[in-house]
C-alpha cells in the first residue's frame, strides 16, 4: 500500500461548545486516563462533558444523535472504544481525539500519537486534524482490521481478566492458546476486478490502518489514508509453518510466503460454507458472508502538527 501525504487542517470550530470525554467506567486505567485528559483540557479553558459509555450500541446511537453539540469527542480507552466512537462519528465533521488507555492501542500507534493521556488530550488544544479512511464490514465501520478465523478466537480468548492480569503479555498468551487449537476453514474470496477464488485458510484479514493485534502490521507500507484496503489469507497447511511465519506476520511481510494470498482494493467479499464470526478492531460485530468496503476520508481525527 502506498501512503498519501497527510492532509493536515487547523481545526477552528468554536471551542465554546463543550468537549465530550467518553470512557468505560469499568476500566480503572480508562478512568485514570480520563481524569488526566480532563485535567489537561480544563487547564486550557475547555468545557468538559463526560459520558460513561453505557454500552456499544447505545453509545453509538448517542454520538450519532448529539455529535453536533460538541466541538470534539475525546475517546479514552483501547481500540474497541475507538471503534465505537468511529461508528458514532463516521461521516460527520466532529473530530475524534484518541486518548490511548487500552492494552494494544493500535490506532494510536498507526496515527503516531503519544501514549500519555494528557499529551494526547493536548492535541485537541493544538487543533490540528486530518481525515482518515474507514473500512466497513456488513454495516459496521472499522479502523484497523476486520478478520475471520484466528483473530476471532483470539478476541474470545483475550478476556478482560487476562488483559488485567498480564497487560501486553496477554496477547502472546492468548495467541499461543489459539494457535494450539487452530483449524482451517473453507471460503470463497472475491476481490475487486477478480473472480471468486476458493481458499482453505486459518485467517482472512482485511486492513484499513497499518497496525492491529498489538503492533502487527497489515502490510509494510499500509497507511490509514491511502484509499485502499489490504487483504491477506493464511493458507498454510500446518501450524509449524504458521509459527515460522510469525515474525513476517508481525512486520507485514507475510506476502512473501507462497502460502499467503494477498490483494488490495476498495472492496472484498468473503463467503464461507457455514456462518463464521467477523472480528473488527477486537470486537465481534458480524458474520459471513462478509462484504468489506472502503469509505474514503470518512473520519476527522486530531493529530500532531509534526
What would the mean pLDDT of 118-147 be, rounded to a whole number? 96
What would the mean pLDDT of 265-289 be, rounded to a whole number? 95
Give CATH for domain 140-296: 2.60.200.40
Share of the chain above pLDDT 70, in %: 84
Orientation angle between helical segments 28-43 and 117-126, nearest 10 degrees = 40
Q: Does 161 or 41 have the greater pLDDT score?
A: 41
Query: Containing H/E element for 188?
Result: strand 185-191
Most confident of 2-6, 10-14, 100-104: 100-104
Orientation angle between helical segments 239-251 and 169-180, nearest 10 degrees = 150
Nearest to 88 by CA among 66, 65, 64: 64
d(CA 291, CA 285): 13
Grid cell listed for 19: 468537549
Superfamily of structural domain 8-132+298-302: Probable inorganic polyphosphate/atp-NAD kinase; domain 1 (3.40.50.10330)
What is the Cβ-side half-sphere exposure of residue 291, based on CA atoms within 13 angstroms?
4
Sign of CA dihedral 172, 174, 175, 181: positive
What would the mean pLDDT of 69-85 be, rounded to a whole number? 95
Domain ranges of the chain: 8-132+298-302, 140-296
Angstrom distances, CA of residue 113 to CA of 128, 220, 306:
12, 19, 11
3-state class (DSSP) for residue 292: strand
Residue 39 scores a pLDDT above 90: yes
Share of the chain above pLDDT 90, in %: 63
Q: What is the pLDDT of residues 145-170, one digit of tens each?
A: 999 988 776 666 665 665 566 565 65
Q: Output Rg (C-alpha) for the chain, integer angstroms.
A: 19
- Least-confidence region, from 132-136, 154-158, 172-176, 301-305: 172-176
Residue 5 scores a pLDDT above 70: no
Amino acid at each position: 500500500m502506498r501512503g498519501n501525504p497527510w492532509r493536515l487542517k487547523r481545526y477552528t470550530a468554536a471551542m465554546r461548545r463543550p468537549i465530550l470525554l467518553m470512557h468505560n467506567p469499568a476500566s480503572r486505567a480508562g478512568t485514570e486516563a480520563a481524569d488526566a485528559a480532563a485535567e489537561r483540557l480544563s487547564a486550557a479553558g475547555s468545557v468538559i462533558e463526560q459520558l460513561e459509555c453505557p454500552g456499544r450500541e447505545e453509545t453509538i446511537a448517542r454520538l450519532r444523535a448529539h455529535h453536533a453539540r460538541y466541538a470534539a469527542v475525546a475517546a479514552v480507552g483501547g481500540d474497541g472504544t475507538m471503534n465505537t466512537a468511529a461508528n458514532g462519528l463516521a461521516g460527520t465533521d466532529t473530530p475524534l481525539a484518541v486518548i490511548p488507555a487500552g492494552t494494544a492501542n493500535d490506532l494510536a500507534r498507526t496515527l503516531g500519537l503519544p501514549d500519555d493521556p494528557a499529551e494526547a488530550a493536548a492535541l485537541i488544544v493544538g487543533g490540528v486534524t486530518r481525515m482518515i479512511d474507514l473500512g466497513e464490514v456488513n454495516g459496521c465501520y472499522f479502523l484497523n482490521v476486520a478478520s475471520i478465523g484466528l483473530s476471532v478466537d483470539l478476541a474470545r480468548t483475550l478476556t478482560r481478566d487476562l488483559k488485567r492480569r498480564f497487560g501486553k503479555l496477554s496477547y502472546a498468551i492468548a495467541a499461543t492458546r489459539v494457535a494450539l487449537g487452530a483449524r482451517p476453514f473453507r471460503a470463497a474470496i472475491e476481490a475487486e476486478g477478480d473472480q471468486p477464488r476458493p481458499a482453505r485458510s486459518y485467517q482472512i484479514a482485511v486492513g484499513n490502518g497499518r497496525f492491529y493485534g498489538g503492533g502487527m502490521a497489515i502490510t509494510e507500507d499500509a497507511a490509514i489514508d491511502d484509499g485502499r484496503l489490504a487483504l491477506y489469507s493464511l493458507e498454510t497447511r500446518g501450524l509449524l509453518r504458521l509459527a515460522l511465519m510469525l515474525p513476517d506476520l508481525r512486520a507485514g511481510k507475510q506476502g512473501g510466503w507462497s502460502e499467503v494470498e494477498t490483494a488490495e482494493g476498495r472492496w472484498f467479499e468473503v463467503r464461507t460454507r457455514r456462518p463464521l464470526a467477523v472480528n473488527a478492531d477486537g470486537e465481534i460485530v458480524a458474520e459471513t458472508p462478509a462484504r468489506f468496503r472502503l469509505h474514503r476520508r470518512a473520519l476527522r481525527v486530531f493529530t500532531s502538527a509534526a
